[in-house]
């Protein structure tokens, strides 16, 4: 069938024909012919564009096409990364790269292709012997003094996805100008003949256990109260890796710290890219935490946590006084982590006045309140952990980073890893549970203490999914509409401040005063109301979604009032959603 006769995007025709004419394997070409014959819409979606780096790197559905994750798009992306990296280190003869992968289908294959292309381009490649958590890859980049690194993972996305996170020499994911510059290099590659694949003998070094030991030993140094861990070593911990890489290191790390009663959800301990026991391997979702909570109820556990497939995000469940289990959101977990860490730094007289923490613009203001009251500076950055890593790079040697995090369940403690780290976060969460036990409290009680002291913050999120090319265009139109005609009020509450991160302007709607936002441009809008509510609108950088973040605040006078105030804040969020036609 002649692809040029199909009623599809011209770019899709051009890209698909190039693959049919190029040196691609016959199975791939036959798949293109089958789509042209039986499913032109799928052909259009598979070829209308090239995958692009977003806040989480390269990510997409696995399959045939320029807009899909496959051996060819991985090879071409790697060639672009290699070309760009070489250009940034001219004359360097000892270029180095680290490569790892998660438990997803095809991840090992993609990792080996990535390693081969980098090696063929003159890099000495440190390839992990098997799956490892994303934060260990970030650590390895710095440990081996690499110029770049790649982690093959789609994080918490459904099983159909895979992805490619590229890292720079500081162990941080690619930020501007590197991220777009790498894509520019990828787009220059017009044929497979542009990709070098023949790795010289000895150019790929297999690594594993020796890096594990060094990484885990460094995390152990994060412990602020090792004596309390030893005293309460037998608190009941439930952990699930959700069929991912966390099983390789998180139980081992907890044992190394001294915890002796770690109960792993065995059904989810087996690495499996099909994630058979959960509809989505995302610890943000209640269904993913279900089996762990069931086990916690059975054994009367003290704390529950889950890591996503590449073990950079953590979901936490805590036991309430009535015996029921409550799932914390990412803002709540970050608040407890920061509260504990800063309190310990204060008590141990470790604060000098030159420390700081970092959060993203969509994260609750509660962590900022906790830090500022402790005399610690707070920096806001755009959504995506690469911006937290970028801030650390900017302030390296000038100020001391303590911790950082974001609402989407990612946390970083110390700067030896430059990405979110579930291994380090789970270790600290377990320590907090032991510290609470020492005081005759639970993890939930610590959260209540925070709300009583700083105010009861509550957040909500609505993700509007719009798939494909038409969906992407609809999302962009929604942003244009909000930008050109912003709401004067939301749920009867006047909008008093508008922050436009694309224009880098903060506008006080009461006075008309405009101030500059000193961050990189991003397609994000924030509306602040007279009563203190914050609503953020942002297209996702990794998924076909536009996200609406809601943050409201109340007071908590006593622990017994928790449910009443929690319900009132939930009702306020739902009312805001209705006023914006999102329910």
Q: Tell me the per-residue pLDDT of 267-322, one tens digit each, with 9 for 90 and over.
A: 999 999 999 999 889 999 999 999 999 999 999 999 999 999 999 999 999 999 99
Domain that includes residue 99, residue range: 49-207
Q: Are residues 141 and 240 in the same domain?
A: no
Q: Are residues 261 and 181 in the same domain?
A: no
155, 307, 364, 442: which one is catalytic?
Answer: 155
Show which of 207, 222, 238 is a domain's final residue: 207
For position 488, what pLDDT does the model report? Answer: 94
Structural domain count, the chain:
3
Show which of 172, 207, 242 is a domain's final residue: 207
Q: Are residues 273 and 386 in the same domain?
A: yes
In which residue are the tokens 């909000």 written?
482
Look at residue 290 and tell me if it is in a domain: yes
* 61, 72 Cβ separation under 8 angstroms: no
What is the C-alpha to C-alpha distance for residues 383 and 408, in angstroms, rounded to an integer? 10
The lowest-confidence range among 417-426, 466-475, 570-579 is: 466-475
Whether 516 shows a pLDDT value over 60: the answer reads yes
Q: Are residues 433 and 468 in the same domain?
A: no
Confidence bin at 541 (pLDDT 50/70/90): low
Give the bridge partners for 527, in sequence order. Answer: 498, 535
Show which of 454, 471, 502 is a domain's final residue: 454
For position 319, what pLDDT does the model report? Answer: 97
What is the C-alpha to C-alpha distance for residues 217 and 222, in angstroms, rounded to an integer? 9
Average pLDDT, the chain: 94
For position 3, what pLDDT does the model report? Answer: 87
pTM here is 0.93
| Three-class secondary structure assignment of 312-375 | CEEEEEEECCCCCEEECCHHHHHHHHHHHHHHHHHHCCCCCCCEEEEEECCCCCHHHHHHHHCC
Look at residue 241 and tell me if it is in a domain: yes
Confidence bin at 583 (pLDDT 50/70/90): confident
540 is an active site residue: no
């Amino acid at each position: 069938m002649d692809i040029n006769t199909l009623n599809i995007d011209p770019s899709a025709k051009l890209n698909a024909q190039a693959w049919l004419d190029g040196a691609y394997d016959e199975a791939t070409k036959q798949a293109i012919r089958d789509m042209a014959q039986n499913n032109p819409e799928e052909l259009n979606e598979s070829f209308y564009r090239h995958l692009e780096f977003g806040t989480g790197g390269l990510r997409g559905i696995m399959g045939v096409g320029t807009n899909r994750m496959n051996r060819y798009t991985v090879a071409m992306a790697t060639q672009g990364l290699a070309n760009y990296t070489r250009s940034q280190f001219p004359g360097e003869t000892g270029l180095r790269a680290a490569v790892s992968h998660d438990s997803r289908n095809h991840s090992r294959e993609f990792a080996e292709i990535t390693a081969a292309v980098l090696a063929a381009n003159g890099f000495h490649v440190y390839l992990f012997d098997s799956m490892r958590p994303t934060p260990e890859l970030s650590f390895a980049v710095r440990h081996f003094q690499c110029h770049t690194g790649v982690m093959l993972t789609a994080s918490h996305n459904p099983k159909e996805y895979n992805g490619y996170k590229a890292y720079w020499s500081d162990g941080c994911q690619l930020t501007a100008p590197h991220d777009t510059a790498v894509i520019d290099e990828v787009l220059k590659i017009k044929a497979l003949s542009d990709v070098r694949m023949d790795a010289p003998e000895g150019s790929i070094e297999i690594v594993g256990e020796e890096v594990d030991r060094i990484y885990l030993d460094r995390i152990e140094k994060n412990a602020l109260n090792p004596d309390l861990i030893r005293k309460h070593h037998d608190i009941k911990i439930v952990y699930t890796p959700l069929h991912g890489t966390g099983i390789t290191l998180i139980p081992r790390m907890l044992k190394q710290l001294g915890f002796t009663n770690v109960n792993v959800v065995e059904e989810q301990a087996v690495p499996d890219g099909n994630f058979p026991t959960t509809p989505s391997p995302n610890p943000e979702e209640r269904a993913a935490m279900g089996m762990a909570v069931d086990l916690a109820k059975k054994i009367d556990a003290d704390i529950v946590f889950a890591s996503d497939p590449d073990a950079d995000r953590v979901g936490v469940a805590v036991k309430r006084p009535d015996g029921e289990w409550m799932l914390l959101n990412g803002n709540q977990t970050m608040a407890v982590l920061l509260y504990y860490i800063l309190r310990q730094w204060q008590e141990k007289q470790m604060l000098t006045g030159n420390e700081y923490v970092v959060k993203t613009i969509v994260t609750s203001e509660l962590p900022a309140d906790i830090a500022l009251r402790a005399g610690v500076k707070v920096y806001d950055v755009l959504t995506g952990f690469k911006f937290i890593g970028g801030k650390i790079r900017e302030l390296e040697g000038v100020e001391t980073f303590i911790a950082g995090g974001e609402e989407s369940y990612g946390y970083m403690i110390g700067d030896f890893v430059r990405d979110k780290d579930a291994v380090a976060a789970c270790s600290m969460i377990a320590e907090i549970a032991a510290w609470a036990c020492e005081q005759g409290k639970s993890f939930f009680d610590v959260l209540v203490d925070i709300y009583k002291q700083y105010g009861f913050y509550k957040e909500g999120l609505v993700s509007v999914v719009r798939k494909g090319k038409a969906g992407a265009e609809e999302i962009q139109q929604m942003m244009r509409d909000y930008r050109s005609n912003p709401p004067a009020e939301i749920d009867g509450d006047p909008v008093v401040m508008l922050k436009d991160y694309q224009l880098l302007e903060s506008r006080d709607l009461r006075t008309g005063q405009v101030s500059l936002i000193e961050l990189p441009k991003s397609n994000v809008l924030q509306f602040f109301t007279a009563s203190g509510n914050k609503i953020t609108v942002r297209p996702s950088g990794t998924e076909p979604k536009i996200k609406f973040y809601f943050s409201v605040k109340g007071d908590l006078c006593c622990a017994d009032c928790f449910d009443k105030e929690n319900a009132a804040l939930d009702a306020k969020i739902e009312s805001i959603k209705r006023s914006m036609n999102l329910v």
